[in-house]
Amino acid sequence: MARSRLYVQPDRGFTRELVQRAQSAGYQALVVTVDAPVSGLRNREQRAGFTLPPGIEAINLRGMRPSPQQTGEAGSGVLLGGPLLAAAPTWNDIEWVRSLTSLPVLLKGIMTMEDAKRAMDANIGGIVVSNHGGRTLDAQPSTIGVLPDIADAVGGRVPVLLDSGIRRGSDVFKALALGATAVLVGRPYVYGLAAAGAVGVSHVIHILRAELELTMALTGCRTLGDISPALIQR
Ligand SMILES: Cc1cc2nc3c(=O)[nH]c(=O)nc-3n(C[C@H](O)[C@H](O)[C@H](O)COP(=O)(O)O)c2cc1C
């Protein structure tokens, strides 16, 4: 399924246009990232002095009104009470995004049962249990650890996807056993891309699939439906 990923931008008019563009381009779901209203503290990135190289840009954000962080209006280090967090999305904004599109809206970055329940009340089309690959708030729990409670809260009403730390097919198996509908991967496919381009990405997927099948064979699961919590020792 083609899904488009969205940050609710401080420029709400621009956000509306992005949603409409995603829908007209044929995407089948909209994934709204809710765990990063501001960027996390990335010391290694700071030390490396990382910036996008010339010629690389967030092309879909071209023409957007600059954020308070970009204009310097956000001040140095002051967040609470500042303009940056005032523009951060709230549950009302999620409702607003839903009103803009007929596509299912999934929330990415749900890490508690309470937020999962709230998402259900807001008629969300699915949940991505994610700690952003550990790239936002350091010291968050693992996604596999919080998954069972969230899956319970959702109770099979909508898909529950999981990411952050999927590295082997056996990780996929564990996530499916503990209540995920499917998993997502971030860095593994980036590593494949860096090593061998598109072929590298497809090889990463191939390895994950082969490892998942092997784990299923070794645990007596003929189908994905046979994967159950009983196969996991906690
Ligand atoms: C270089 C990089 C950039 C990312 N950018 C975004 C982003 O713009 N929005 C978002 O929701 N997640 C972003 N993520 C997080 C991924 O979507 C995903 O949640 C995470 O990488 C999953 O963990 P994994 O890398 O351990 O598989 C980014 C991850 C990486 C590695």
Topology of 1-36+78-164 in CATH?
TIM Barrel (3.20.20)
> Which of these, 112, 121, 187, 117, lies nearest to 154 by C-alpha position?
117
pLDDT tens digits, one per residue of 46-62: 999 988 899 998 888 88
Task: Give the tokens for residue 152.
Answer: 């319970």
Query: Residue 183 C-alpha to ligand 1 middle, in angstroms?
Result: 13
A 10 A CB-CB count for 61 gives 14
d(CA 34, CA 14): 18
Active site residue ranges? 132
**3 Cβ below 6 A of ligand 1:** no
DSSP-assigned letter for residue 229: G
Domain boundaries, the chain: 1-36+78-164
Ligand 1 in reach of 148 Cβ (< 6 A): no
Better pLDDT: 126 or 11? 126
The pLDDT of 20-37, averaged and rounded, is: 95
Ligand 1 closest atom vs CA 131 = 19
Q: Residue 187: CB within 6 Å of ligand 1?
A: yes
pLDDT at 145 over 90: yes
User: Model's pTM, two decimal places?
Assistant: 0.91
